[in-house]
Chain A
Amino acid sequence: MSNPIFKFKVSSVDEDRFGWVRQAEFGQRKLSTPVFMSLIKGKTEFDTYIDFMNTYKVEHLGACIIPIIDAKSTTERKITKLKELKNQNRLFEGGLASNRLENFFEKTLVGIDPYTEYPFYEFDNTLLKMSLSLAIPESLRQLTSDIYKFKLDNKGDRKAILAYSERKYVKFYLDLKADPASRTAFVRDFVNSESARGASFGIPSGPLVIHKFKDEMFDVLKEFTRISKALWKGECLTYLPIEQKCLSDYEFMDKVSDYIEKEDSHFALKVKNFDLIRSDSLTRNSFMKFEERLKIFRKEKNKLAILFEAGPQAIPCSVFGFDMVSTSMRALDKDGAFGANESKGRGGYFDPTWLLIRRYKEIVQIFKSSGNKLPCSCAVCKSITDLDALTTEFWNTARRKHFLFTMNGLMTEFTLNIKEKRIDLSYDRIVKSELCPLKRIIPPH
């Protein structure tokens, strides 16, 4: 499947104080901001997402993001399937299935996250998966494998592991940057890999900006972004993966703001292990300042701002600061841990009133006390009348679909509030929930 070349066309629809509703067209795809981008991990989640998107009309969910190491079991598998179905499309059954898949790819924006920051982080399973993935360049696989081996040999010695991965990671990127042929080959491999795995737009494969080496890593990132943009045929974002520590560095964040203002493309930010609920007020203030700068960039240059792996910030940042936000389909869980391990049982449930994930045990109590009803009126929750009768697999699929419905509902509510010039109601929604500490990243009205 060749990826048609498109670019975002952004137009303003409505405005109220610090909030906008905008329309982003990307070929035939039309997205109404704010948009919730689901971060999809693995085959089952992708199948659930396709089924959901083909069944329900949801205005604010038409985009997803897939880690490159999961592309094999998700987009790559479906693209191969689509090709097979097209080759045998004379059969009625094949025709129907290929229509559903084609329909999905035509209507949904897919981003393939290069995951370049992961070798630096300590998630063993991800590292192992990454060191074996053919979707990433061999040099990065080798680096990941070295770090993984070191971590296995030095289990428990956290300090040594951190020092080793930091040294290896920084050296790897600085060496790459120094050699034009290697850096071009590295970026080209990522561009080709993302594109072949169904990405609608490009995400540059620059490194994570580690605060300790912020200037050097930021330079590498800018260089890699330039090459990615030169090589991508269609839309390629300006992408900034940073450590949360960078947020409280005003001087650095000013440099970042200057850079994204000068760049002519849309912008995506990823803050590793992003959590402003438990952070200090300096970090929150700095982030708020950054959002204020983004506002100018978004308004004057008509650019989109996207927040990847937004965690608990996803909802407040869709009220102010960003046009698209992404978190895992399992709800606003922290990056990396991805919530409780589902292999042990039933995962948590996103409470649409309090905007928090409730443990399954809590949900059983709420269900029983409210007359065998879940505290939500979405199509999935309404159909559940007996929790004991459900299989674990069914519950885990249902809770994801419920989360997608909830996010679409919230985005719709925020849109209506802006249309009715009552953005203060969106602010109040955050204040009255468990996300209350994050009211500080929304301007007072």
Chain B
Amino acid sequence: MSVNETKMKQTSPKHQLEANELSSLPPRDRDEYSQKILMNFLEANPAGATTSEIMDKTNLSRTTITKQLGTLMKDGKVTESIHAIGKIQVSVFKTVGKRIHEKRVKDQFSDDVFYSFFSVERDRERYIYIQEKEIDEFRKERVRGAIAVSSKDFDIFIKEIMQFALETGQKERETERRS
């Protein structure tokens, strides 16, 4: 689907602040609100959107959009893909997918690390999305890394992981025996 085609179907988030309301918010609340609006917009438009398209449909400024999309990408919630239209390159932003279920699993050895399992829907396909998160020095959650595996490939993926763990486990034991 081309960037122009996606623009036709874009819907704007229903509940938004007016520009003068938004400017009266303190910075932290403004950031949180902007991220919420961006996520709502991208979830409602799964084909993705460019910064200009987001600007058209929300009351957010280009600077805010760019800054907050950067944060969302760092948190593993949004991805960026580059599309070429002639000689111009355009960034299209998409959510990782619409989250259907969420489960938290704690790291057995560290209280500050945990994994979030999500079932997400993207482009009418289901994915298992796993994030490794840590609690940073400010007691805030931070995503260290993430992986999305299509539900179709999940069985093969698990088999391969098991196989890999067995092989590497075998190798570790062999190394231990030799030493």
- Residues on A lying within 8 angstroms of B by beta carbon are 2, 4, 27, 180-181, 183-185, 188, 192, 226-227, 229-231, 233, 264
* Chain B residues, CB < 8 A from A184: 17, 21-22, 24-25
A93 to B15, CA, bound (A): 46
Tell me the complex Cα distance, A188–B28, Å. Answer: 12
- Please, how many angstroms separate the alpha-carbon atoms of A316 and B18 in the complex? 41
Which B residues touch A27, using CB under 8 A? 102
Q: List 30 A-B contacts (CB under 8 A).
A: A2-B141, A4-B102, A27-B102, A180-B18, A180-B20, A180-B21, A180-B24, A181-B20, A181-B21, A181-B24, A183-B21, A184-B17, A184-B22, A184-B24, A184-B25, A185-B24, A188-B29, A192-B29, A226-B15, A227-B17, A229-B15, A230-B16, A230-B17, A230-B37, A231-B17, A231-B29, A231-B33, A233-B32, A233-B36, A264-B14
Q: Which 10 interchain pairs have the tightest Cβ spacing?
A: A181-B24, A229-B15, A184-B21, A180-B20, A230-B15, A180-B21, A230-B17, A184-B24, A230-B16, A233-B36
Interface residues on B, range: 10 to 19
Nearest-neighbour CB distance to chain A for B56, whole angstroms, equals 18
Interface hits, B1-56 → A, CB 8 Å: 14-18, 20-22, 24-25, 29, 32-33, 36-37
Which residue of chain A has its CB nearest to the CB of B19?
A180
Residues of chain A within 8 A of B18, CB atoms compared? 180
Interface set, chain B 87-134, CB cutoff 8 A to A: 102
Q: Which residue of the partner chain A has the closest CB to B104? A: A4
| Nearest CB of B to A397, in Å | 34
Q: Which residue of B lies closest to A86 (CB)?
A: B111
Residue numbers in B under 8 Å from A2 (CB-CB) = 141
A4, A188, A264: the one within 8 Å of B25 (CB): A188
Contact, CB under 8 Å: A227 / B102: no
In the assembled complex, which residues on chain A have CB atoms less than 8 Å from the CB atom of B32?
Answer: 233
In the complex, the answer to whether A227 meets B21 with C-beta atoms within 8 Å is: yes
What's the least CB distance linking A226 to chain B, in Å? Answer: 6
> In the complex, what distance in Å separates the CA atom of A233 from the CA atom of B36?
6
In the complex, which residue of chain B has the Cβ closest to the Cβ of A264? B14
Q: Which residues of A contact B14 (CB under 8 A)?
A: 229, 264
A385 to chain B, nearest CB (A): 46
Q: Which residues of A contact B37 (CB under 8 A)?
A: 230
Q: How far is the CB of A105 from chain B (nearest CB, A)?
A: 13
- Flag if A230 contacts B24 (CB, 8 Å): no
- A180 CA to B24 CA in the complex, in Å? 8
CB-defined contacts of A227 to chain B, threshold 8 Å: 17, 21
Q: Which residue of B lies closest to A226 (CB)?
A: B15
A323 to chain B, nearest CB (A): 22
Residues of chain B with a CB closer than 8 A to A230's CB? 15-17, 33, 37
CA distance A180 to B18 in the complex (A): 9
- Complex Cα–Cα for A152 and B17 (A): 40
From A9, which residue of chain B is reached at the shortest CB distance?
A: B100
Report the nearest B residue to A231, measured CB to CB: B33
Q: A184-B21, A231-B17, A233-B36 are in contact. List 12 more A-B contacts (CB 8 A).
A: A180-B18, A180-B21, A181-B24, A183-B21, A184-B24, A185-B24, A188-B29, A229-B14, A230-B16, A230-B33, A230-B37, A231-B33
Please measure, in the bound complex, the distance between the C-alpha atom of A231 and the C-alpha atom of B17, giving whole angstroms.
8
Please, how many angstroms separate the alpha-carbon atoms of A328 and B109 in the complex?
44
Distance, CA A229 to CA B29, complexed state (A): 14
- In the complex, what residue of chain A is closest to B99 when comparing beta carbons? A5
Bound Cα distance A78, B176 (Å):
49
Q: Could you tell me the distance between the alpha carbons of A364 and B22 in the complex, rounded to whole angstroms?
A: 61
Q: How far does the alpha carbon of A188 sit from the alpha carbon of B25 in the complex, in Å?
A: 8
What is the chain B residue whose CB lies nearest that of A89? B111
**Which residues of chain A come closer than 8 Å to B17, judged between CB atoms?**
184, 227, 230-231
**B residues near A192, Cβ cutoff 8 Å:** 29
Which A-chain residue is minimally distant from B18 (CB atoms)?
Answer: A180
A188 to B37, CA, bound (A): 16
State in angstroms the CA–CA spacing of A231 and B30 once bound together.
Answer: 9
Q: How far is the CA of A184 from the CA of B66 in the complex (A)?
A: 24
Q: Which residues of B contact A264 (CB under 8 A)?
A: 14
Chain B residues closer than 8 Å to A233, beta-carbon distance: 32, 36
**A181 CB to nearest B CB, Å:** 4
